[in-house]
Structure 1
Amino acid sequence: MPLRFAEHAEPGGAFRATVEAAYFAMRLSGAQKFGADQPSERRRMLEPQYLYALFLAACCSRLDEPCRHFQFYRDSDGAEWIPAAHGAFGPWVGTSNYRVTRREAIQPIERMRTALLAREILGSERLSAFDSQVLTELFGAINPDPRPTGLETLLHKVVRQSIDTLTQFEIKARKAEFPPDSTPVPTAERLEKAVNPSLAQADAPVPAPPPATSTQHADGKGNVSPAESAGLGSQAQVESPDATASDASAARNVVQLDGARSLRKELSADDPFKALAGSSNLMREFFKALAQDVASGKAKVARIDGKVSISKRSLGNFGLASDTLVEHLRKGKHLYKVDGQNILLVDEVGRLIAPETAS
């Protein structure tokens, strides 16, 4: 039977919804710890009962949904199926056919009615195996309230989340639009060959014999005699050492390194930062980049006590931490002092970064 007219509406949809609800409930239970407020021994005893109760609560939470949305009539006498009075649907309908009609108005949700149906299905023998605490939470979790008020048990929470996940998956699946399959329908002959491979082998074309290899050259000359071929081979053997030697010399002459010359980038003669004694290459490049940004207006520097001041907040643009810069400035004796968020440079460096005429 269907579950609802908008969800799991196909024949057998109620059974599919039950299986999916149990599946999602058991998946969500993996990260939960039932009976966490109980002593360790009692918790070890109750945890298997909680997992079984979770499975039963998820399976029984949709028992009343088909009757809320549909009416089921037996064709033999036209009687309507009422679960509370007639019991299970299979024995009631027997061998007769039945029809399903949609209700004009959906019946309200009654959790007590669902719990009574679950009690009839589960039976007293199965329920007697549960602890009283687990049994109470089991019936409290059947057909969970979508918006619980007050204290919510963990069993009720997991069942509610499984029902919500089930509903969301079904809604997304029904809203999905799938393009039609554009694969052409195979012909009858192709299907017959697929069923009977012997027919396909019989109809396969016989491969033609390979063409005879021609010894005629592209320029129209005839075959080369064995003596000529031997002469060509000896000539190739004579010429190959020279070619190998030339290739080896070319490979050796790819890069010529001068051991007396440094591989570092040399400073140009007109570089003003070359005069900074004791500065490392890192500091020279930093001073040069800062001076270029100041000249182009990308960076701003101020003057405090007549000294060029650099804000620590602007150092992020150069990939330097303020502590690293201060340490290098002290080593190179280019630091005047640190004033809060400002780093003051000595006049020797300040004049190169921001000349007084430009400030």
Structure 2
Amino acid sequence: MDKSDKIIVGISIGDLNGIGIEVILKTFQDKRMLDFCTPVLFGATKVISYHKKALSLDIPVHGITSINQINHNKINVLNIWKEDVDLELGVSTKVSGEYAAKSLAFAMEHLKEDKINVLLTAPINKENIQSETFNFPGHTEYLEANLEGNSLMILMTDKLRIGLITGHIPISKVAEAITPALIKEKVKIMHESLKKDFGISKPKIAVLSLNPHCGDNGVIGKEDDEIIKPTIDEIKENGTLVFGPYAADGFFGSETYKQFDGVLATYHDQGLAPFKALSFGNGVNFTAGLNKIRTSPDHGTGFDIAGKKLANPSSFTEALFAGIQIYKNRNEYLQLTKNQLLVK
């Protein structure tokens, strides 16, 4: 492979006092990783060096001041600030949140300008990152505001993909948010993503029920009978293979999820609790539905183990491979559909 053809993965370094930089460095300890991509960390070599020293990790990095200076055989660190930053590993501080936001903002600009091919985000702290310029519940909402398309958070492994119909909203607001329009939008995004990002020609999608036991014919709520089921039936008429609603407990307990290419949960914990029980440590968060590709590990900042060399890089490594594969799949899909249009 020509080095200039390698996929460039831009990496926002997350909260400076968390485990993000540790899992990044541990992932690239294996030099073979550089055969798959060219990594560009958005931050500062001083910060990376601080973490390397604290963790006793001897991993060389290549400091640059412009994306044009990247070395395809090295771990590139794009220096986006020069000043010294006070670091307190394991502690949530306003400073660590502020610089996490800077890293993300610079990475986003490079993604929008096609200077990087994939964005891989290390974990942020959703509280200390808040400011006038970052006023979002999390990465997903920030990405949707900055990129084209409508987002769908998908938690994924090789065998399980769970999308969320509603995301970071209070549980008290979930029922009123579940509308036919929203269900149709999320099913459409997942269906298109499964085709173009995962290479599945006829995806089968399951939708989970909002209420326990699908509402037990209205005894425990009417939303499943009056909103979710009729909407699924309507979507089916257009040829999309969508099924449900399924009661979440039995759906996962009986391993019914293995029969589907994608699953849509009605709210955050309904999807993430079983996903992390089944896959924690190897899961990937992928933001589907947007014109650019972003993945991240399925864990948080890990302040309790930061700086102790205990962080497991598996999820970050999986997120890296997922981003690369999705990028390849999407390009292949675009080429195939473009050729079909030319034939017609």
Q: Same fold (TM over 0.5)?
A: no
Larger radius of gyration: 1
TM-score by length of 1: 0.21
User: Whose strand proportion is higher, 1 or 2?
Assistant: 2
Higher relative contact order (Cα pairs below 8 Å, separated by 6+ residues): 2
